Amino acid sequence: MRALVLRQLTKTYRNGIKALKGIDLEVDRGDFFALLGPNGAGKTTAIGIVTSLVTKTGGVVEVFGHDIDRELEVAKSCIGVVPQEINFNQFETAFTIVVNQAGFYGITRRVAKQRAEVYLKQLQLWDRRHSIARSLSGGMKRRLMIARALMHQPELLILDEPTAGVDIEVRRSMWEFLRMINGEGTTIILTTHYLEEAENLCRNVAIIDGGRIIERDSMANVLRKLQTETFVLNLRDARTAAPRLDGFRASLADAHTLEVEVSRGQSLNQVFAQLSAQGVEIDSMRNKVNRLEELFVRLVDSRGRGGAGAAVA
Amino acid sequence: MSATPRRAGARWTGFQTILIREFGRIVRIWGQTLLPPAVTSTLYFVIFGSLIGRRVGQVGGHDYMQFIAPGLIMMTVIQNSYGNVVSSFFGAKFGKHLEELLVAPLPNWLIVLGYALGGVTRGFMVGTVVTIVSLFFTRLGLLHPAMIVSAAFLTSFVFALGGFINAMLAKNFDQISWFPTFILTPLTYLGGVFYSIQMLPRWALDASHANPILYMVSAFRYGFLGTADVDLRLAYAIMVMAAVGMFSLAVVLMQRGVGIRD
C-alpha cells in the first residue's frame, strides 16, 4: 500500500497564483522520501493540502488509502507534521504542548504523559520539559515540534524544513533520530534546503518546480543522471598554472587548489595517474558542491531555459 | 457526525483537551481574566450602588443595589465569555498554534464547541467572582436557581460563539475590538443592566425590545429577584435560537476555512 498518493493535485490561490499545476506523486509505505524544490515551487502548498491546512482546488489525496475528501479524520490520524515555522503556543511548557497535542489526536492523558517522557528524552528535551517554550533555543524548538508530531505515533511523518537554522551538531543528531524512526517503520517525507540532508537520509526523491514535478526517481538513479562532477584537489606544492590533464577540464582556483571536472564514464584514476606522472602531489580531495545540489541546480536552471525534458537527459 | 465508538472516544478526549487547555489558560493568566472583573464590579457597586443608588430609591420593587447586582453579574459574564474566546482563538490564529487543532482528526463542530465552552467556563468563573463581590454590598436570593444557571449558560454560550466568529473574521488586533466597542458594549449598557425599561419613554421602551441582551439580563434577574421586564418564554426562545444560529454559523465558517485556511 502507498503511504501517500497525489493525483492531478492542483491549487490556485485567491490572488490567482497557481501553486500546483496537476501533481502526481506516490510514496511507498516505509519510504524516506525527499520533496525538493526552490522557494515558491509548491512544496509547502502540497504539504499544506495533505495536512489539510490548505484547501485544494482539484485532484485527489490519499493517505494509506484514505481519501481526504471522504475519510478526512482517519487520514489525519495517520499523519504527523513538523511545519516550517514554529507553530506552538510559546507561552506553554514543552510538556504541556506535547501532551495537549496527543489529546487532540484522542490519546488519553495517562498514555500521553508516558509518551511525552519517551519522546522528550529521545530528543534531549526532558530536562527542559517544564520550560516555557519561548525560552528554548532554536534547535530545541525544532526538536519539540518533532516530539509533538510523534505523540500519536503517526504512520506518516511529514517534515517541512525540519533542520532550518539549527547547528550542525543538532542537525546530525536529528538525522540519527529520523533514521531510527524510519527504521522502525514510519514513512517519512522530508522537504529541505540542505540537499546534503536529502542525499544522506532519503531513498527516493521528487523535485518540484513551478508547481510541477520535474523529476521522480530513487536517489541513486537521480544522482546517476548527474553528467559531470567537479572535484576540488588540494595540492601539496604551490603552482602558477594548472597541470595539463588530457580529457579533463582543469583550472587553478588558487596556488594550492585545483578544480577538475570529471564527466560520467571517466575515471578518477586517470586524473591521479596523469597528476602522478607530472609529479603533482595531492593532499586531499572533495566534491566542489554536494552532488544532489549540482543536479538540482542544473535541473531547475535548464527547466527555466526550456523545459524539464532537456534537464534530465 | 456519526462515528465509531473508538472514534467517538478519541473525539471526547480531544474535546476534553481543548477544555483543559482553555481552563489552564484562564487560570494561568488570572491577573487578566479573574482579577479585573472583581475590581471593576466592586467599583460599580460602590459608585452606582452605594453612592448613586441611595438617591435612586427602588427599581422594580427592589433596592437599586439589589436590582443592578444580577445585571452587573450578567454583563461581566457576557464580556468575559466573549473576550475569552476572541482572544484565545485569535491568539492561536495569529501565533499559528491553531494549526495544532486544524491538523488533528477533530471535526470542526467539536473545535467550535470546545472553544465556546471554554468561554462559558470563564463566564461562569468570573460570574461567580462577581456574585461573591456583590454579596458584600447587598443580599441576593436564589428564587429560581435553574433559571439563573440556564440563562447564564445560554447567554455566555451565545457570546462565546460571537467571540469565536469575530476571531475567525478578524485579520488584525484592531478588528477584534470593533465588535465589543461598537455593538456589544452599547447593547449591554442599553439592555437593562442599570435600569428597568419601564422607566423609559415609550419609543425607547419599544426600541429596547429589539435588544437581545435585554431578554438575557431579564431572565437572569428573574432567577434572583422573581421580576422581569420581558416575557420569559420569549426570552428563552431568543436565547436558544441565538445559540443554535451562532453555533451553526461558526461551524459553517470553520468548514469553509474562513480566515484560517488558504
Q: How far apart are CA B21 and CA A106, in angstroms?
A: 14
Within chain A, all domains assigned CATH 3.40.50.300 are found at 2-78+154-218
Chain B (221-260) residues lying within 8 Å, Cβ to Cβ, of chain A = 257
User: How would residue B31 be classed by pLDDT, with cut points 50, 70 and 90?
Assistant: very high
The pLDDT value recorded for residue B261 is 87
pLDDT tops 80 at residue A299 = no
The percentage of chain B sitting over the pLDDT mark of 90, rounded to a whole number, equals 75
- CA-closest candidate to residue B197, choices B49, B52, B63, B59: B59
Please check whether residue A40 is in contact with residue A11, taking contact to mean a CB–CB distance below 8 angstroms. Answer: no
Q: Evaluate if residue A295 carries a pLDDT over 80.
A: no
Contact assignment for B104 to A76 by CB distance below 8 Å: yes
Distance CA A270, CA A265 (A): 11
Q: Give every CB contact of residue A127 below 8 A, 6+ residues apart in sequence.
A: none
For residue A253, pLDDT beyond 80 = yes
| Mean predicted confidence (pLDDT) in A241-260 | 90
Q: Residue A221: its pLDDT value, please?
A: 85
Asked if A105 lies within 8 A of B104 by C-beta distance, the reply is yes
Could you report the per-residue pLDDT of B109-144, keeping only the tens digit for each? 999 999 999 999 999 999 999 999 999 999 888 899
Task: Read off the pTM.
Answer: 0.86
B114's grid cell: 470546545
Q: What are phi and psi of A67, to 5 degrees?
A: -75, 130
In terms of Cβ atoms closer than 10 Å to its own Cβ (0-12, 13-18, 19+), residue B205 is middle
B209 touching A (Cβ < 8 Å): no
A-contacting residues of B 69-128, CB under 8 Å? 92, 95-97, 99-107
Query: What are the extents of the domains in chain B?
Result: 5-256
Question: Which SS3 state, helix, strand or coil, does residue A208 take?
Answer: strand
* Segment A30-59 mean pLDDT: 93
Mean pLDDT is lowest, of A292-301, B224-233, B242-251, for A292-301
Mean pLDDT of A138-146: 93
**Model ipTM?**
0.89
Please tell me whether residue A309 adopts helix, strand or coil conformation: helix
Q: Are A230 and A288 in contact (CB under 8 A)?
A: yes
CB–CB contacts below 8 A, A to B: 78
CATH architecture of A225-291: 2-Layer Sandwich (3.30)
- From chain B, the residues in CB contact with A86 under 8 A are 96
Partner-chain contact A100 B21, CB within 8 Å: yes
* Distance in Å, alpha carbon of B69 to nearest chain A alpha carbon: 36
Q: What is the DSSP letter of A233?
A: E
Fold classification of A2-78+154-218 is Rossmann fold (3.40.50)
> Could you give the 3-state DSSP secondary structure of residue A19?
strand
Write down the pLDDT at residue A289.
66
Nearest CA-CA partner of A63 in A54, A55, A73? A73
Average pLDDT, chain A: 89
* Residue/partner pairs of B22-30 with CB below 8 Å, 24 or more apart: B22/B84, B22/B88, B22/B114, B22/B115, B22/B117, B22/B118, B22/B119, B22/B121, B22/B122, B23/B118, B23/B121, B24/A96, B25/B88, B25/B118, B26/B84, B26/B118, B26/B121, B26/B122, B26/B125, B28/A91
What value does the mean pLDDT take over residues B63-67?
Answer: 90
pLDDT exceeds cutoff 80 at A24: yes
A212-234 mean pLDDT: 85
